[in-house]
Amino acid sequence: MVSSKFFAICAVAAAFICSASFAAEAVRVACVGDSITYGARIVNRDADSYPAQLGKILGKTFEVRNFGVNGTTALSKGDYPYVSTPAYKSALAFNPDIVIIKLGTNDTKPFNWRFKEDFERDLSSIIKSFQGLPSHPRVFLCRPVPAYQSGGNSIRGEIVKEGVLPIIDKIAADNGLVVIDLFSALADKPQLFPDKIHPNEAGAKIIAEAVAAAITKNKK
């Protein structure tokens, strides 16, 4: 006959195994965004993009994945909507615990910004798609980095500052989201933007540090 002591030992062992398994599960972080998230123009993006550097800062208890896609917009009518990409579907399937959203830079191109009235709605829709996941992730909304160019038919620095930032601040306020102010973090640092748009490795490090600080400060 099996003793009650044996059952008690088994129960303790099972609880320990379950607890150890739970503790070993890393916090999943999805970095959603455009080429600046992807790490465009960074020589070794697998090591030096901001999501890669973020993973190093946060350590082994976090699993950080890069879901950035070059040229993408928050606008669904933009020339390359983020929601149309496989990366967006993969980010949702990742079922993250934390989502970092950094979009808006490519939306400032004149042929995209003509749909500016849809920007708030479309970015809010992306946010809600992640909030509705089974993991119920914390969503952090980034103010885009500065663009050190103005005019022309490409990304417009003045629209980033005067058009995109106020809308992002409003979305965050309306939805109770933490804002990560990457614009201020990289303001007056044009030397970190070799092509005036994409930060280099040092700029990506500043982004990673700002994101890590926000995550650490806003633990559940």
**What is the domain class of 27-217 according to CATH?**
alpha beta
- The per-residue pLDDT for range 176-208, each reduced to its tens digit, is 999 999 999 999 999 999 999 999 999 999 999
Residue 131 near residue 84 (C-beta atoms within 8 A): no
* pLDDT band at 219; cut points 50, 70, 90: confident
- The per-residue pLDDT for range 99-121, each reduced to its tens digit, is 999 999 999 999 999 999 999 99
Q: What is the DSSP string of 146-207?
A: P----STTS--HHHIIIIIHHHHHHHHHHHTPEEEEHHHHTTT-GGG-TTSSS--HHHHHHH
* pLDDT band at 15; cut points 50, 70, 90: very low
Question: What is the C-alpha to C-alpha distance for residues 3 and 56, in angstroms, rounded to an integer?
Answer: 49
Residue 54 near residue 29 (C-beta atoms within 8 A): yes
Total residue length of the chain:
220
Contacts of 206 (CB under 8 A, 6+ apart): 185, 186, 189, 192, 199
Handedness of CA 135, 180, 124, 115 (dihedral sign): negative
